[in-house]
Amino acid sequence: MTYPPPYYPNPQAQAPVRRWWQHPALIISLLVLIPPVGIALAWLSPWSQVKKVVATVLAGLWFLTPFLGDPPKKTAADAKPQPAATQPVAATATPPAAASTAPTPTKSPDPQMPAVVGKPFREAEKAVEDLIDKELTALSAYNDVELPAAYTDWIACFQSPGEGTMLVPKDADTSVHLVAPGTRCPAEKNTTLRPKPTPTPTPPPAPTPTPEDDDDTSSGGSSTGGGSAGTVTPGAFCSTPGATGIGKKNGRLYTCKGPGQERWRP
């Protein structure tokens, strides 16, 4: 009996030609990017039945996911673990707090006179008139100096009342004595800045002897004798130094004295 020779597949036999649209990489890419097209190509490919079903289900879910809507987001409070439920605690009644009595406002003391000596008048005026209802009076520190129309930059030398004196805002009378900028303050109020010079007294001139006095020189000289010579002629010679006499015409007291030759001199 004769047997047929065994069959050996021809390795050179050509396999079915695969089209470009049947390439696995292209089909998988379309399943992800364009699921409907990828599903169609998967069923036209030489894949097995199981692969085609799996690819169809996954691509369909991927395609329908955006249309299903986003799941509700959990808030931060929901994400934190919730504490276990505890038994409610009975609220205890808190007695109302005793009504606090507001402190009675105390009356502010009367203001005190500030120190304004050495300050310009504009600063002194503001410091004082902020405390009282009246205006600050401006006076000159010198009797012979008058205040100009504008004296806001003049300096205060004296103030009334003194620093620290209690002021009644409605009745306080305040004043300052001023000097011009660059002028020295006086030692006290009501002083003269430029006192007038005191005139020097001029001694009266010596009496001029008259012809009658010259005629009576001898009698004047002879009338001297002792401490008091009686009536004498002014300017006549005398012989007793220190003796006194009364002038004949004017009744004045004359003394016998020098310089030089003694004469009757006042």
What is the tens place of the pLDDT at every residue in 80-106? Answer: 556 555 555 444 555 555 445 555 545
Q: Which tokens hold the place of 58?
A: 């996954």
Q: Span 173-192, mean pLDDT?
A: 90
Q: Span 72-85, mean pLDDT?
A: 57
Residue 216 has pLDDT above 50, yes or no: no
| Amino acid of residue 127 | A
Residue 219 has pLDDT above 50, yes or no: no
The candidate with the shortest Cα–Cα distance to 179, out of 206, 145, 214, 135, is 145
The candidate with the shortest Cα–Cα distance to 236, out of 127, 245, 251, is 245
Q: Span 256-260, mean pLDDT?
A: 84
Q: Residue 54: what are its φ and ψ, rounded to 5°?
A: -60, -45
At residue 252 the predicted structure's pLDDT band, cuts being 50, 70 and 90, is confident
Q: Are 154 and 120 in contact (CB under 8 A)?
A: yes
Q: Can you say whether the dihedral through the CA atoms of 200, 202, 203, 204 is positive or negative?
A: negative
* Ordered strands of the 253-257 beta sheet: 228-232, 244-247, 253-257, 263-265
* Stated pTM of the model: 0.37
Pick the range with the lowest mean pLDDT from 10-14, 45-49, 242-246.
Answer: 10-14
> Who contacts 237 (Cβ-Cβ below 8 Å, separation ≥6)?
217, 220, 221, 261, 262, 263
pLDDT of res. 215: 41
At residue 212 the predicted structure's pLDDT band, cuts being 50, 70 and 90, is very low
Pick the range with the lowest mean pLDDT from 1-5, 173-177, 246-250.
Answer: 1-5
pLDDT of res. 208: 56
